């Protein structure tokens, strides 16, 4: 099986991909813009920073680059490309040339291995588009109590986009997928600074790789993929957390045995039986834990800001977005009194089962003082958000009902 290091060679100009793409350092890639406004409960403070081609985002770490989207950008149905969050595990990020990039589709469980150019990918297969939420598994980790290790995300390691590309199954079928295939292993071009750091390699169960909505995407919201979101091509796995959405994808391998790699086990695991998960990754399960897979039902209040002041008698619109792993949002409920009474919010347009759903609720607070406003989503499978955190050591699946306060004067 190929790894990232199989695609590297040393030249006088530094590290290059075999196709000629240059590796870019990030030591001076971002600029600071001052303190960022963070949700209450997150650790410490953060700075707004900007990566090339991005608007100022909330900087969580610099090397590797991890930047989250400010909540104000989530008032739109689709998150702007230049405001979309950035997540990397490794610090050497390749600046790829689409004209020289190649995708190897190989492995023991394929009859006819392929090597595809960017032109092959965009020209030779049916192109489809899927609206889908992309969310880091650890989104809201920084809100966990007690705090747990990892990137201390607030609410912004998430975005909704229209992803355009080709079905992964079309590539696998053209390469002659064998019946003994168990998993599809995905490799990307980003790399580590130290050789002992494991390459970021993930796998999918064959059934998920063959799902009609799982893509090798080359466009996002009608434009080419941004550099920091996977150019020239990335894997898109609607309904599942972004750990499987391989950026800068360079290799796809079909294998007949469960893949063993650090980023599959011990990383990205949740205790068995903790969450109401339907999509199981059986070949990677152990007695104690299982890989994280589908997103749990969740919602976010995007307006008003926590602590907003309003005059008595002034109408307030509570708005936000809700999403899940692909079952669809049935209802969103809003409480104006810290959870005593719940009312059904108005849902926006249904943009597809994997897209988030906008919602809103308008009310007029009746008395001066502080009012706690809550929102919770319910999906069509009967799941609802929790009022208390389901604790796990990695801080995954934080879908606690969100609470903001308004002050009536």
What CATH number is given to the structural domain containing 73?
3.90.420.10
Which of these three, 258, 293, 328, is where a domain ends?
A: 293
**What pLDDT does residue 24 have?**
47
Q: Is the peptide bond before 146 cis (omega within 30 degrees of 0)?
A: yes
Q: Are 125 and 149 members of one domain? A: yes
Domain end among 235, 264, 293: 293
Same domain assignment for residues 232 and 354? no
Task: Determine the structural domain holding residue 214 and report its residue range.
Answer: 1-293
* Distance between CA atoms of residues 124 and 216, nearest Å: 13
pTM, two decimals, is 0.90
* CA gap 404, 213 in Å, rounded: 35
CATH, residue 332? 2.60.40.650
Quick one: 334 and 277 in the same domain? no
Instruction: Share the mean pLDDT of the chain.
Output: 90
Residues 308, 274, single domain; the answer is no
Look at residues 293, 315, 335 and tell me which one is the last residue of a structural domain: 293
For residues 395 and 150, is the Cβ–Cβ distance under 8 A?
yes
DSSP state of 339: T
Who's near 230: CB < 8 A, 6+ residues apart?
217, 245, 246, 247, 248, 249
Rounded average pLDDT over 124-150: 95
Tell whether 22 and 161 lie within a shared domain.
Answer: yes
- 109 and 186 in a single domain? The answer is yes
Per-residue pLDDT of 310-363, as tens digits, reads 999 999 999 999 999 999 999 999 999 999 999 999 999 999 999 999 999 999
b/e code 168-200 from CB counts within 10 Å (16+ = b): bbbbbeebebeeebbbbbbbbbbbbeeeeeebb
Structural domains in the chain (count):
2
Q: Which of 121, 317, 327 is nearest to 234 (CA)?
A: 121
């Amino acid at each position: 099986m190929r790894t990232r290091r199989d695609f590297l060679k040393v030249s006088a100009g530094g590290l290059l991909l075999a196709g000629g793409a240059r590796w870019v350092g990030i030591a001076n890639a971002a600029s600071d813009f001052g303190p960022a406004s963070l949700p209450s409960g997150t650790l410490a403070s953060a700075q707004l920073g900007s990566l090339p081609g991005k608007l100022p985002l909330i900087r969580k770490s610099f090397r590797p680059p991890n930047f989250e989207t400010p909540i104000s950008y989530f008032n739109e149905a689709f998150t702007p490309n230049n405001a979309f969050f950035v997540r990397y595990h490794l610090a050497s990020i390749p600046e790829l040339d689409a004209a020289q990039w190649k995708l190897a589709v190989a492995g023991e469980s394929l009859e006819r291995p392929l090597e595809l150019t960017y032109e092959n990918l965009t020209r030779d297969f049916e192109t489809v588009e899927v609206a889908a939420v992309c969310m880091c598994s650890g989104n809201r980790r920084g809100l966990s109590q007690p705090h747990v290790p990892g990137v201390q995300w607030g609410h912004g390691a998430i975005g909704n986009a229209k992803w355009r590309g080709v079905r992964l199954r079309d590539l696998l079928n053209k390469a002659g997928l064998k019946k003994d295939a168990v998993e599809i292993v995905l490799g990307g071009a980003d790399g580590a600074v130290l050789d002992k750091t494991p390459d970021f390699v993930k796998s999918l169960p064959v059934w998920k790789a063959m799902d009609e909505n799982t893509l090798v995407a080359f466009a996002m919201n009608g434009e080419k993929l941004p550099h920091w979101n996977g150019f020239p091509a990335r894997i898109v796995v609607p309904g599942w957390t972004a750990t499987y959405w391989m950026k800068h994808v360079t290799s796809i391998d079909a294998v007949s045995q469960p893949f063993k790699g650090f980023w599959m086990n011990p990383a990205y695991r949740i205790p068995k039986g903790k969450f109401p998960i339907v999509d199981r990754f059986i070949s990677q399960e152990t007695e104690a834990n299982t890989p994280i897979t589908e997103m749990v039902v969740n919602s976010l209040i995007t307006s008003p800001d926590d602590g907003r002041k309003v005059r008595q008698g002034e109408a307030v619109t509570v708005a936000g977005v809700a999403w899940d792993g692909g079952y669809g949002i049935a209802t969103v409920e809003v409480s104006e009194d810290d959870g005593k009474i719940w009312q059904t919010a108005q849902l926006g347009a249904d943009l597809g089962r994997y897209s988030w759903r906008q919602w809103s609720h308008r009310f007029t607070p009746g008395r001066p003082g502080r009012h706690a406003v809550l929102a919770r989503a319910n999906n069509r499978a009967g799941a609802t958000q929790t009022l208390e955190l389901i604790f796990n050591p990695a801080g995954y699946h934080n879908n606690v009902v969100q609470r903001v306060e308004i002050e009536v004067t």
